[in-house]
Amino acid sequence: MNYQKLGWIKASEYRKDVLKFLKEGPKMPKELADENGYRMSHISGTLADLKEKGLVECLTPEIRKGRLYSLTEEGKEILEEL
């Protein structure tokens, strides 16, 4: 368990919520924004940060619209600790 990443997740409601909603399966950024009531800019930035840390992955990077994101194994592990 990477406790630095866990602490980083716990420090942000956006990051926690995005991980929790991705637990249900792959989602598009628009779906995450709608489900959370967050702005798309917040979701986009949060997904980029989570991807950089290796906690989420884009399943459809070759397309511009309709990209799907899901949890990585490390993301699932951290989610279990939340």
* Those residues with Cβ within 8 angstroms of residue 52's Cβ, 6 or more apart along the chain or in another chain: none
Q: What is the CATH number of the domain that holds 50?
A: 1.10.10.10
pLDDT in tens, the chain (82 residues): 899 999 999 999 999 999 999 999 999 999 999 988 999 999 999 999 999 999 999 999 899 888 999 999 999 999 999 8
- Please tell me the total number of residues recorded for the chain in this structure: 82
Domain count, the chain: 1
Grouping H, G, I as helix, E, B as strand and the rest as coil, residue 11 is coil
Tokens of 11: 């420090």
Q: Domain residues for 18?
A: 3-81
pTM metric for this prediction: 0.89
In eight-state DSSP terms, residue 56 is E
